[in-house]
């Protein structure tokens, strides 16, 4: 794995500023990438004193400490790629708080006939929202995604909710055009955003339960049930694996976001645009993350959501004008103290001597694409 090593130092009033090559910007620049300037690099960024990173064929990756938010290493963190079914992470994060998981729904014909990976819905009122979320995250049900969008008021409203949630989380590389990740022009995400959204999801107990379930029963007509198994091949095979989601399409290639917990600490790894099987590589990247946490200078940070703005009324004056909606103007996000904290983490790491080196169960052929079970 090639590391970018070129660094130039410029002495400025008030100290030494390290300027990275490529398109990374100074920390004071309004165009600074979310999470820190180093994350704007297209190559690998990592503390030069860290143990060598494992080999990965992915076009982009992020290794992050979920507890502190520190990004321990990355490659093209903000590069925009087709997310495939990893976009379902955002669908779940946006819709879990909005829907009653005990509500029973009847899917439309459109939902039941959606293309690609599916759990095999029928037009019967036998499914709870809870069942659909489990199918969404365990077997990547594209039909479940559409049924959930219908329950939320329709596709248009759901996409608006998903994109609003992405803006709230400061996942600015992410644009949702579908609720299931099937390729659409203009749809995108990044390794940084997938890690950021997954971190937000893991804070929700329902999300965590859905992504960590290995085998579950799913309703079938006539009061029957059948079993569905999680597509995440690391569940039960990698020590401490929690979940989260893999994806694959012919255009997007392979993508995955995974989280594992050991000794009370959680590491998140996201990879995008991988041509082959990424499972062994992800295990190696997780191992590296556990060994590196607390031992290396971070290269950036997973930022927090945009703070909610509360309207204020001047004493003795007329009501104040309503504030702009959170998650809209870029300035509101940049003014977040959490963004500043992320930049500070990077700055401290640099000034301390660190440089950057810079996944029924549709009735379809199950033997197909053994390494890419997901659409």
Q: What single-letter DSSP state applies at residue 363?
A: S
Q: Determine which helix (DSSP H) or strand (DSSP E) holds 71, and give its type and residue range.
A: strand 70-75
Bridge partners of 262, per DSSP, are: 265
Query: What does DSSP say about strands 44-46 and 15-19: parallel, antiparallel, or unpaired?
Result: unpaired
Cα distance between the two ends of the chain: 29
Q: Determine which helix (DSSP H) or strand (DSSP E) holds 199, and give its type and residue range.
A: helix 191-202
Residue 365 token pair: 């052929």
Residues 6+ apart with CB under 8 A from 51: 288, 291, 292
Angle between helices 129-138 and 205-212 (to 10 degrees): 50
Using a 10 angstrom Cβ sphere, with 0-12 exposed, 13-18 middle and 19 or more buried, the burial of residue 277 is middle
3-state secondary structure of 211: helix
For residue 186, give Cα distances in angstroms to 92, 113, 175, 369.
21, 24, 7, 26
DSSP 129-185: HHHHHHHHHHS--HHHHHHHHHHTT-HHHHHHHHHHHHHHTT-TT-B-SSSS----T
Using a 10 angstrom Cβ sphere, with 0-12 exposed, 13-18 middle and 19 or more buried, the burial of residue 45 is buried
Task: Return d(Cα 277, Cα 290) in angstroms, integer.
Answer: 22
Catalytic (active-site) positions: 85, 88, 140
Task: Return d(Cα 203, Cα 209) in angstroms, integer.
Answer: 11
Residue 17 token pair: 């500023």
Task: Return d(Cα 87, Cα 326) in angstroms, integer.
Answer: 22
Task: Return d(Cα 75, Cα 358) in angstroms, integer.
Answer: 8
């Amino acid at each position: 794995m090639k590391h970018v090593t070129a660094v130039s130092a410029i002495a400025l009033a008030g100290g030494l500023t390290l300027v990275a090559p490529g398109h990374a910007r100074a920390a004071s620049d309004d165009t600074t990438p979310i999470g820190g300037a180093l994350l704007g690099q297209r190559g690998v960024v990592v503390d030069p004193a860290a143990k060598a990173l494992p080999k990965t064929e992915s076009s982009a990756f992020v290794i992050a400490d979920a507890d502190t938010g520190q990004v321990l290493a990355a490659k093209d963190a903000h590069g925009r790629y087709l997310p495939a079914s990893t976009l379902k992470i955002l669908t779940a994060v946006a819709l879990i708080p909005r829907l009653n998981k005990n509500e029973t729904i009847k899917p439309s014909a459109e939902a039941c006939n959606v293309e690609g990976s599916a759990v095999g819905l029928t037009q019967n009122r036998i499914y709870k929202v809870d069942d659909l979320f489990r199918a969404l995250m365990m077997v990547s049900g594209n039909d479940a995604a559409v049924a959930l969008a219908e329950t939320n008021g329709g596709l248009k409203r759901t996409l608006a909710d998903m994109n609003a949630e992405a803006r709230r989380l400061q996942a600015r590389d992410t644009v949702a055009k579908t609720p299931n990740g099937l390729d659409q022009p203009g749809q995108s995400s990044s390794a940084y955003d997938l890690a950021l959204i997954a971190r937000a999801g893991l804070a929700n107990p329902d999300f965590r339960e859905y992504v960590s379930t290995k085998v579950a029963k799913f309703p079938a007509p006539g009061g029957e049930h059948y079993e569905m198994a999680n597509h995440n091949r690391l569940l039960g095979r990698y020590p401490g694996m929690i979940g989260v989601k893999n994806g694959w399409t012919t255009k997007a290639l392979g993508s995955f976001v995974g989280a594992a917990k050991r000794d009370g600490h959680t590491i998140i790894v996201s990879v995008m645009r991988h041509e082959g099987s990424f499972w062994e590589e992800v295990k190696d990247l997780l191992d590296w993350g556990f060994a590196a946490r607390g031992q290396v200078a971070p290269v950036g940070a997973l930022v927090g959501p945009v703070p909610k703005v509360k309207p204020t009324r001047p004493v003795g004056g007329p009501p104040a004008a309503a504030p702009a909606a959170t998650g809209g103007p870029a300035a509101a996000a940049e003014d977040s103290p959490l963004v500043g904290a992320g930049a500070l983490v990077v700055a401290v790491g640099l000034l301390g001597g660190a440089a950057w080196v810079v996944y029924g169960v549709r009735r379809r052929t199950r033997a197909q694409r053994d390494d890419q079970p997901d659409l």
